[in-house]
Structure formats: C-alpha cells, structure tokens
C-alpha cells in the first residue's frame, strides 16, 4: 500500500489559487460523476471504494479500525491512519455513520489492506446544487431555472469538450474560443431568448472576448509568463506533456472573464433598446451617451466583483507571501503572482471595453426604433433609475 495514503498527507495539501478555482466548480462536477456501487475488494485488487462507518474500534497494538459497510452490504475492516505527531494540523475525527472513501491494496504479507482516506463529500454537494436550483427558481422563476440549466451546460462544455481537446494536444486558445461560442449562446440565447437585444449583446460579447484574448496574448508575452506559475501546472507538465501550458493559461483567463462579460453586455443592449423605443427621436450620439451613463455605473460594480473574486481565490497565496520573506516588489515579480495580476487586469479591461463596444453596436442597430420590439423583449432588462 502506498505510504502516501495517510491522514497526515491529506493535512499537508496546500490551497493554491488554481485549487480554489477547481473547488468553485465542484458542485457542477458531481453532475457528471456516476455513483459507484462499491463491492468487496478481492485479495489481489487495488483501488478505491466507498462505504458507511458502522463502528470504530481500538484493537490492541493497532491503529483505530473502522468497520465500514460497502454498497453490497459487505463489512470490511479499514485502518484509520493516525495524525502526524510532528504536524501542526489536526483533522476532525471520523465518526460512526459517516460515508468515507477507502483505499485497498495487497499488503507486504499478501493480505488485503484497507485504509480510510477521506470523507465522501458528494451528498453535501448534491444538496447544495439542489438548493441553488430551488433558490434560482423561487427568485427568478423559469428564467432562474434556465440560468441554472445554462450554467450546468456551460460547465459541461468545459469538462466534456474543452478539457479533453486540450488533453489531446489541441491548441488551448482555439479550443477555448470554440467552447466560449457555445457557452455564450447558452448564457444569452437560452436564458434571455433570441431577440435583437440579445443578438446585439452576443455580438458585443464576442468582440470583447476577441479584445480580451489579444490583450492576454500581448501581456503574457511581455510579462514572460510560461504557464508554470503553480504546482498544478508543473504536475500537469509531467502527466500530460502534450498540453501547451501557456495556451492553457490564456484559456483559463478567457473563460474566467466570461460571466461578468455576458452580464454587462445584456444590460447595455437592453438599456439602449429601451431608450430607443421610448424616444425614437434620439440620434446615435445621444443614444450612445445615455447608454454609457448606465454602463459607467455598472462597470464600477462588476470590475470590483471580478477583482474580489480573483483576490478571494488567491487569499492563501497573499497570506503565504506575508508570512514569507518577500518584499512587495519581489512578490509581484513571482510568476504565481504575475499570473493573477494579468488575469485580473486583462479580464477587467475586457469587461470595461465591453460597455462602449456593446453600447455602440446597440445604438447603431436600434436608433430611431427602426426594428420592431418583440413581445417580452425588454422584460429581461435590468432596471436602472
């Protein structure tokens, strides 16, 4: 049995910004995971199983042993590894009734050894997903439910299309742009409907995405970012050397900025559409100016949201830098920090530029109220006073 399967090993795992982003997607990953029906491991098997602890006993001269009932009803003895006596972290103890993950493998004497390695977290995540769906429907009705479905489908595009294609060695930038197209159609057309307003928002978002990607290409090159700024990238380089890490960095930047981009472009297109419909006499310049009045207010809050989202994901890194002997100038020179700075600022610039781009497109399209308003077209717009 590998020595790495110990409880102390779990206590030493770090929380990098990359891991924080992975855990933000965890509620959606469970939608793609099948529930395994654990069977009793054979003497020569090795792998993982799941079960429920029915009893915990202390046997003479041994570690704590959990009696774990597997999915087929079989009860196995599983060792609970002790805490590292030299470590500073003590994890919560396992309790009777909890569902746990087991690792099993042949021991040195040829007999099967089973060790408790972790808790089973999927049920809690499932309840959280259900709560999200209920709250979305309760607050926003079927539009909220469509948004929930759209979000799950967007993540499915990332997991089932973008990730496998990148692992196969495809260009991450091109693949992410293709995936982004599908995500945008879901996020805009499926949730808000197919109208001239949403079409203007989609066009504005696509242009903003192109601008964001160009900026990302330029500044990742100027900052000499290699894509090796964190431990996950280094592990990936060994496990999947065919993946272009710098391209992966750009793809992550693009996908990370999408949510805020779609929100602000939908608002801008709807606002301009409503202004033009209310007063068809407004010319292009005035219509653009009035639309930008609303856009400036929205930009401030969304940029703040984007910056705080990246900062929250990087909080453990910020604390680590303060604990270590890093000056401010040295810290900003680290690729790990520079990655986050480029992500945040390039995403924010793309977000800010999405406002005038979408506002101008919508003003050109809707000035003089030349295109008839479809029933319900303006009902999805955010209300601003």
Q: With helix as H, strand as E and coil as C, how does the chain read? A: CCCCCCHHHHHCCCCCHHHHHHHHHHHHHHHHCCCCCCCCCCCCCCEEEEEEEEEEEECCCCCEEEEEEECCCCEEEEECCCCCCCCCCCCCCCCCCCEEEEEEEECCCCCEEEEEEEECCHHHHHHHHHHHHHHHHHHHHHHHHHHHHHHHHHHHHHHHHHHHHHHCCCCHHHHHHHHHHHHHHHHHHHHHCCCHHHHHHHHHHHHHHHHHHHHHHHHHHHCCCCCCCCHHHHHHHHHCCCCCHHHHHHHHHHHHHHHHHHHHHHHHHHHHHHHHHHCCCCCHHHHHHHHHHHHHHHHHHHHHHHHHHHHHHCHHHHHHHHHCCCCHHHHHHCHHHHHHHHHHHHHHHHHHHHHHHHHHHHHHHHHHHCCCCCCCCCCCCCCCC
Q: How far is CA 384 from CA 268, 366, 378, in A?
A: 11, 19, 13
Same domain assignment for residues 102 and 231: no
Q: Is the dihedral of CA 246, 247, 251, 254 positive or negative?
A: positive
Q: How far apart are the first and last CA of the chain?
A: 65
Q: Is residue 2 part of a domain?
A: no
Exposed, middle or buried, 340 (CB in 10 Å: 0-12/13-18/19+)? buried
Same domain assignment for residues 111 and 164: no
User: Which residue stretches of the chain have pLDDT < 70?
Assistant: 1-44, 60-62, 84-89, 324, 376-385
**Domain interval for residue 324:** 123-369
State residue 302's pLDDT score.
76
Same domain assignment for residues 65 and 212: no
Q: Is residue 380 part of a domain?
A: no
CATH number for 263? 1.20.1640
State residue 85's pLDDT score.
57
Residue finishing a domain among 72, 93, 120: 120
Q: Is residue 272 part of a domain?
A: yes
Same domain assignment for residues 147 and 39: no
Same domain assignment for residues 108 and 177: no
State residue 384's pLDDT score.
43
Same domain assignment for residues 235 and 301: yes
Q: Is residue 71 part of a domain?
A: yes
| pTM of the model as a whole | 0.71
Same domain assignment for residues 232 and 254: yes
State residue 4's pLDDT score.
34
Same domain assignment for residues 90 and 198: no
State residue 122's pLDDT score.
93
Same domain assignment for residues 110 and 217: no
Domains in the chain: how many in total? 2
Q: Is residue 375 part of a domain?
A: no
State residue 88's pLDDT score.
65
Q: Is the dihedral of CA 345, 347, 349, 352 positive or negative?
A: negative
Residue finishing a domain among 120, 142, 166: 120
State residue 108's pLDDT score.
79
């Amino acid at each position: 049995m590998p020595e790495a399967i110990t409880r102390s090993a779990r206590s030493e795992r770090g929380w990098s910004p990359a891991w924080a982003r992975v855990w933000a997607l965890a509620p959606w990953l469970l939608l793609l995971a099948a529930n395994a029906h654990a069977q009793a491991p054979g003497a020569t098997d090795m792998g993982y199983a799941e079960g429920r602890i029915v009893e915990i006993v202390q046997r003479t001269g041994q570690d704590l042993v959990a009696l774990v009932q597997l999915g087929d009803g079989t009860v196995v003895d599983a060792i609970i590894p002790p805490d590292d006596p030299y470590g500073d972290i003590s994890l919560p103890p396992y309790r009777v009734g909890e569902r746990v993950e087991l690792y099993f493998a042949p021991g040195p004497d040829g007999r099967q050894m089973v060790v408790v390695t972790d808790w089973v977290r999927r049920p809690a995540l499932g309840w959280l997903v259900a709560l999200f769906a209920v709250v979305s429907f309760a607050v926003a009705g079927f539009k909220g439910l469509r948004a929930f479905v759209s979000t799950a489908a967007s993540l499915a595009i990332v997991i089932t299309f973008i990730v496998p294609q990148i692992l196969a060695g495809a260009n991450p930038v091109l693949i992410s742009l293709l995936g982004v197209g599908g995500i945008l159609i879901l996020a805009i057309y499926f949730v808000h409907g197919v109208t001239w307003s949403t079409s203007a928002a989609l066009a504005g978002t696509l242009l903003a995405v192109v601008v964001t990607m160009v900026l990302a290409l330029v500044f990742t090159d100027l900052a000499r970012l290699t894509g090796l700024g964190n431990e996950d990238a280094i592990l990936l380089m060994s496990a999947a050397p065919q993946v272009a890490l710098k391209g992966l960095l750009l793809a992550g930047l693009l996908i990370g900025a999408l949510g805020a981009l779609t929100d602000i472009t939908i608002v801008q297109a709807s606002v301009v559409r409503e202004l033009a419909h209310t007063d068809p006499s407004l010319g292009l310049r005035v219509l653009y100016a009035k639309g930008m009045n609303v856009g400036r207010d929205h930009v401030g809050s969304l940029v703040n949201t984007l910056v705080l989202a990246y900062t929250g994901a990087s909080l453990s890194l910020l604390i680590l830098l303060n604990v270590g002997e890093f000056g401010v100038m040295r810290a900003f020179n680290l690729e790990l920090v520079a990655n986050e700075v480029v992500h945040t600022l390039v995403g924010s610039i793309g977000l800010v530029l999405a406002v005038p781009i979408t506002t101008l497109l919508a003003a050109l399209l809707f000035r003089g109220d030349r295109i008839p308003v479809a029933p319900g077209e303006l009902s999805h717009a955010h209300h601003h006073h």
